[in-house]
Chains A and B, each alone.
Chain A
């Protein structure tokens, strides 16, 4: 297996804000049911979320949508502050959370500028029959543990194993390997792949859009976090320069 650097390209011009990614993620990753009180306490867990921004007022009003998930930063601010190395960078560009090590200091969440880390304030509970749906490939996180987007590492691992077993190469854009949100996205606004492979779709999109007049940008890139998620700007009809998000 060669070097990997997993990452994502998100075309904000395609995102309609439909929330298919959000529910796909919850289903794949055994995210506890976000009950009403959780929203009221601002403790709902959404590894990927769609933010909505208003621009202007009626009748000159616009709303913008942008999906936000863990940026799997190259220089992740969450990593150095963990006293127990529960969060670290793996050799495939993933920012990984080891639940077994986590002691719940929440330093990482505090240090993450993207607010994509979530703390389990409660022991997750499902009515008994609903547990039948839980994904056996993903740990249910107990109370007191941090969690966040993993780029569906369990799907990457499974596909890697299976391709190793069958002696075939991993395909760029293999749906078995792509995170749940990417597969769900009705407009294909999310694209997942390997930035280490110059021929991959994400690499080509990035290269093409990072040229002058391209639409590529990264969230809060001035912080020097080097996110693995590249955003493509919304195109503003009639406007010379496109606005972010």
Chain B
């Protein structure tokens, strides 16, 4: 009932009437008194809050979160203290998931394209119509026995969504390609090759005494940053002696900034550095001699060619060779003597044409210091507890994408279904995906936001936000024991009021509906996605072990949802350490894309702390989160060494054109003292053609200018192997950054607040 001010005053005039109204509103009377101007508004707290446990979908690894819900609206995200991955802490990205839920540009119902493809013109249709259109195309394919012309493009899927998608493709036909712009293909291969493991092991930073990492920005964006950060806190100031941390990288990342020592390495020479470290350990007899013997094939592999003095100039051209050699010796001795020690790598170290060699050399170091499957070292993870519910599967290497694109060009792909992936944004232009997409008759997108791929699609079936829907996740890497993280709706769907024909739906449910319409039996244990999930929980219940013990399934189910998942600290990996350490890889030199004379600088893209691979760009909190080292926000910047920039006459904010052999982009210069001389580093994440009001046409996309080189063995994109040239465009734009927002206090070396001198006290009148 609308109430005018006069009516309100009339009603509240009599206390009896007031009591009636207040009672009707359900708010205690004393909470509605006129507020005194001396009171702190925060002293008055109204309303009840409920916290629901679920799983965050904004970080690379499923972290457990609890969400505060008041009056049906999600208000705050915090870490779930019970959850083995993050134990109560969380990242900026988890927090910002709330803004995705209430994003003003969320897609409110199914859309069909009404203009040219890519024109951005869509019309709303009903879900019945949308699903009808999708099944019509799929039925056409199956009628002509051409199911293999279906390509399902997704993010790496885990948990029950992964299971349903797999089942759909297995029963209907078609192929799945998973999209991960800064792919982990090499990492997975190396884990298999060096440790004979199918699942990513846990890196036990927490209990290590010495950590030696290569390339991976593991405190910031790599694999499982919150878990590693939690371990890092303990590693630094925990119950044990403070650990030592050395980071080797071709760029000065946030992780490098936190290392006790940053070793500069030329791009692609991380593996050589690792072999050099191995040489010191082996020649000085500091490591496990049996492992040394195995790694060198009984001395067959001559490590002496990698003695620090012989390779120092190759590892870094910027650091004097004798100093570099000393540094390598020191690090090798520290690593061998301070045990448990742990060596790992990833990120740009893996993203070269010799990525697999680099990574194999790095991870092999763990054998020398007995850190394989040991606390404080590499801890093997067990296989997931439910056989058909996967941890995220092997990612699709770039070479597979290339063959997909060539099939698209040959019109062999007729229907593309895209979920949680943005290949129009994340694949290099040189791959030719955009041009090839016009040969695909139907692109269906399941995205809840109008990202670059959705804008290029023909039909949009908006997905529910992760905070509105069911799912599970098997964190990969896991915590060292079996676990399933549960995701439950913490609020009712935001567009529920639009009725069942509009609004958003869960991906799993839509797939199941489509299968039903196509008469494809998925053989799933339930009619809805929730029932399938519940069946998974029932199977966990039947294991009769783990974190939730209950007399019956109903209590078990409630327990699992309350705690955010199921885990069994006793269910550790039963795999033993490989009986023999595999021999060290044969060194290969990196090959770079672009001629060194015309393209003298080395381009290192890096995942932005907040936007990661670009998926956070739509969220204003993440756009406004300062990058840890540059403090830049909202734009694309390029990190250039300050003295190099000086020589080129480049100031901060100068618009710089970065040109590779495959295209060019512009970014705002950020000269800093830490970037190596021949490197330019550019964050990934901006430069979206669509993506809503906060992402669209903002900054530029560094992925677009990458060369198509790939790791020779795995086919993974060598995204750190492109050479570029840089030049000033003559334009200037202020770089929005946090640094200098606060002026520095005047320095007072003598700790005197006001210095009184005879001149001061005498006064000058």
Measured CB to CB, the residues of A under 8 A from B are 11, 13-14, 16-20, 22-24, 26-28, 33-37, 39-40, 42, 44, 46, 49-52, 54, 56-59, 61-65, 90, 96, 98-101, 113, 115, 127-139, 150, 153-154, 157-158, 161, 175, 180, 183-189, 220, 222-224, 232, 235, 237-238
Residues in A with CB closer than 8 Å to B390 are none
- Cβ–Cβ contact A237 & B633, under 8 A: no
Asked if B612 CB lies within 8 Å of chain A CBs, one says: no
- Which of A22, A39, A222, A235 makes the CB contact (< 8 A) with B751? A222
Residues in A with CB closer than 8 Å to B542 are none
Interface size class of B (residues with CB under 8 A): 35 or more
- Cβ–Cβ contact B739 & A186, under 8 A: no
How far, in whole Å, are A75 and B751 apart by their CA atoms in the complex? 18
Chain B: minimal CB distance from A13 (Å): 5
Residues in B with CB closer than 8 Å to A186 are 86, 89-91, 225-226, 229-230, 233
Residues in B with CB closer than 8 Å to A54 are 672-674
How far, in whole Å, are A30 and B626 apart by their CA atoms in the complex? 18
Asked if B586 CB lies within 8 Å of chain A CBs, one says: no
Residues in A with CB closer than 8 Å to B232 are 14, 16, 187
Among the stretches B157-165, B251-259, B273-281, the one at the interface with A is: B251-259
How far, in whole Å, are A51 and B226 apart by their CA atoms in the complex? 20
Chain A: minimal CB distance from B396 (Å): 29
Minimal Cβ-Cβ distance residue in A for B227? A186
Q: Known contacts being A132-B73, A183-B78, A188-B230, is A137 close to B734, with CB within 8 Å?
A: no
Q: Known contacts being A63-B252, A220-B745, is A23 close to B736, with CB within 8 Å?
A: no
Residues in A with CB closer than 8 Å to B493 are none
Asked if B677 CB lies within 8 Å of chain A CBs, one says: yes
Return the CB mask of B673-688 against A: 1 if under 8 Å, else 0.
1111100000000000
- Cβ–Cβ contact B676 & A58, under 8 A: yes
- Cβ–Cβ contact A17 & B92, under 8 A: no
Chain B: minimal CB distance from A61 (Å): 4
- Which of A24, A130, A150, A184 makes the CB contact (< 8 A) with B99? A130
- Cβ–Cβ contact B74 & A42, under 8 A: no
- Cβ–Cβ contact A139 & B643, under 8 A: no
- Cβ–Cβ contact A52 & B628, under 8 A: yes
- Cβ–Cβ contact A20 & B262, under 8 A: no
- Cβ–Cβ contact A175 & B609, under 8 A: no
Asked if B665 CB lies within 8 Å of chain A CBs, one says: no
- Cβ–Cβ contact B672 & A39, under 8 A: no
- Which of A14, A49, A51, A129 makes the CB contact (< 8 A) with B236? A14
- Cβ–Cβ contact A63 & B621, under 8 A: no
Q: Known contacts being A99-B41, A129-B106, is A187 close to B229, with CB within 8 Å?
A: yes
Residues in A with CB closer than 8 Å to B610 are 19, 23
- Cβ–Cβ contact A44 & B738, under 8 A: yes
- Cβ–Cβ contact A58 & B45, under 8 A: no
- Which of A17, A49, A56 makes the CB contact (< 8 A) with B673? A56
Asked if B731 CB lies within 8 Å of chain A CBs, one says: no
- Cβ–Cβ contact A98 & B254, under 8 A: no
Closest 4 pairs (CB-CB, A-B):
A187-B233, A186-B229, A127-B104, A39-B736
**Can you pick out 23 interface pairs between chain A and chain B where the beta carbons lie within 8 Å of each other?**
A11-B237, A16-B255, A17-B257, A17-B628, A19-B628, A20-B95, A23-B96, A26-B621, A33-B620, A42-B741, A61-B262, A64-B257, A130-B103, A131-B102, A132-B494, A137-B42, A153-B43, A183-B89, A185-B89, A186-B86, A186-B225, A222-B748, A224-B753
- Cβ–Cβ contact A187 & B236, under 8 A: yes
- Cβ–Cβ contact A17 & B35, under 8 A: no
- Cβ–Cβ contact A175 & B736, under 8 A: no
Most chain A beta carbons < 10 A, residue from B220, B260, B316, B625: B625
- Cβ–Cβ contact A59 & B745, under 8 A: no
- Cβ–Cβ contact A59 & B316, under 8 A: yes
How far, in whole Å, are A20 and B265 apart by their CA atoms in the complex? 29
- Cβ–Cβ contact B257 & A175, under 8 A: no
Asked if B624 CB lies within 8 Å of chain A CBs, one says: yes
- Which of A56, A133, A150, A158 makes the CB contact (< 8 A) with B75? A133
- Cβ–Cβ contact B624 & A133, under 8 A: no
Minimal Cβ-Cβ distance residue in B for A56? B673
Chain A: minimal CB distance from B254 (Å): 6
Chain A: minimal CB distance from B44 (Å): 8
Minimal Cβ-Cβ distance residue in A for B45? A158
Asked if B261 CB lies within 8 Å of chain A CBs, one says: yes
Chain A: minimal CB distance from B323 (Å): 9
Asked if B25 CB lies within 8 Å of chain A CBs, one says: no
Return the CB mask of B81-112 against A: 1 if under 8 Å, else 0.
10000101111100110110111101000000
Asked if B13 CB lies within 8 Å of chain A CBs, one says: no
Measured CB to CB, the residues of B under 8 A from A are 35, 37-43, 45-47, 49, 70-71, 73-79, 81, 86, 88-92, 95-96, 98-99, 101-104, 106, 219-220, 225-226, 229-230, 232-233, 236-237, 242, 244, 252, 254-255, 257-258, 260-262, 264, 316, 318-319, 494, 609-610, 620-622, 624-626, 628-629, 631, 633-635, 641-643, 672-677, 693, 734, 736-743, 745, 748, 751, 753
- Cβ–Cβ contact A133 & B262, under 8 A: no
Residues in B with CB closer than 8 Å to A157 are 42-43, 45
Chain A: minimal CB distance from B103 (Å): 7
Q: Known contacts being A17-B257, A61-B673, is A52 close to B739, with CB within 8 Å?
A: yes
Residues in B with CB closer than 8 Å to A28 are 76
Residues in A with CB closer than 8 Å to B677 are 58
- Cβ–Cβ contact B237 & A96, under 8 A: no
Chain A: minimal CB distance from B739 (Å): 7
Minimal Cβ-Cβ distance residue in B for A49? B738
How far, in whole Å, are A129 and B631 apart by their CA atoms in the complex? 28
Residues in B with CB closer than 8 Å to A50 are 626, 628
- Cβ–Cβ contact A52 & B629, under 8 A: yes
Minimal Cβ-Cβ distance residue in A for B219? A16
How far, in whole Å, are A184 and B81 apart by their CA atoms in the complex? 11
Residues in B with CB closer than 8 Å to A19 are 92, 609-610, 625-626, 628
A63-B629, A132-B74, A133-B98 known; 18 new pairs, CB 8 Å cut-off, are A17-B628, A18-B254, A23-B92, A27-B96, A49-B626, A64-B257, A96-B40, A100-B39, A130-B104, A136-B71, A137-B42, A153-B42, A180-B78, A184-B89, A184-B90, A186-B226, A188-B230, A232-B237
Chain B: minimal CB distance from A190 (Å): 10
How far, in whole Å, are A64 and B91 apart by their CA atoms in the complex? 20
- Cβ–Cβ contact A59 & B78, under 8 A: no
Minimal Cβ-Cβ distance residue in B for A115? B742
Residues in A with CB closer than 8 Å to B748 are 222
How far, in whole Å, are A187 and B88 apart by their CA atoms in the complex? 11
- Cβ–Cβ contact A188 & B89, under 8 A: yes
Q: Known contacts being A17-B628, A19-B609, A175-B81, is A133 close to B45, with CB within 8 Å?
A: no
How far, in whole Å, are A36 and B232 apart by their CA atoms in the complex? 33
- Cβ–Cβ contact A58 & B318, under 8 A: yes
Minimal Cβ-Cβ distance residue in A for B643? A57
Chain A: minimal CB distance from B612 (Å): 13
- Cβ–Cβ contact B92 & A20, under 8 A: yes
Residues in B with CB closer than 8 Å to A223 are 753
Minimal Cβ-Cβ distance residue in A for B673? A57
Residues in B with CB closer than 8 Å to A98 are 37-40
Chain A: minimal CB distance from B245 (Å): 9
How far, in whole Å, are A50 and B625 apart by their CA atoms in the complex? 10
- Cβ–Cβ contact B95 & A24, under 8 A: yes
How far, in whole Å, are A232 and B745 apart by their CA atoms in the complex? 20
Chain A: minimal CB distance from B387 (Å): 33
Chain B: minimal CB distance from A215 (Å): 9
How far, in whole Å, are A241 and B229 apart by their CA atoms in the complex? 25
How far, in whole Å, are A134 and B74 apart by their CA atoms in the complex? 9
How far, in whole Å, are A224 and B754 apart by their CA atoms in the complex? 13
How far, in whole Å, are A184 and B252 apart by their CA atoms in the complex? 25
Residues in A with CB closer than 8 Å to B673 are 54, 56-58, 61
Residues in B with CB closer than 8 Å to A135 are 75-76
- Cβ–Cβ contact B742 & A183, under 8 A: no
- Cβ–Cβ contact B70 & A136, under 8 A: yes
Residues in A with CB closer than 8 Å to B103 are 129-130
Q: Known contacts being A27-B98, A52-B629, A157-B43, is A59 close to B738, with CB within 8 Å?
A: no
- Cβ–Cβ contact A101 & B37, under 8 A: yes
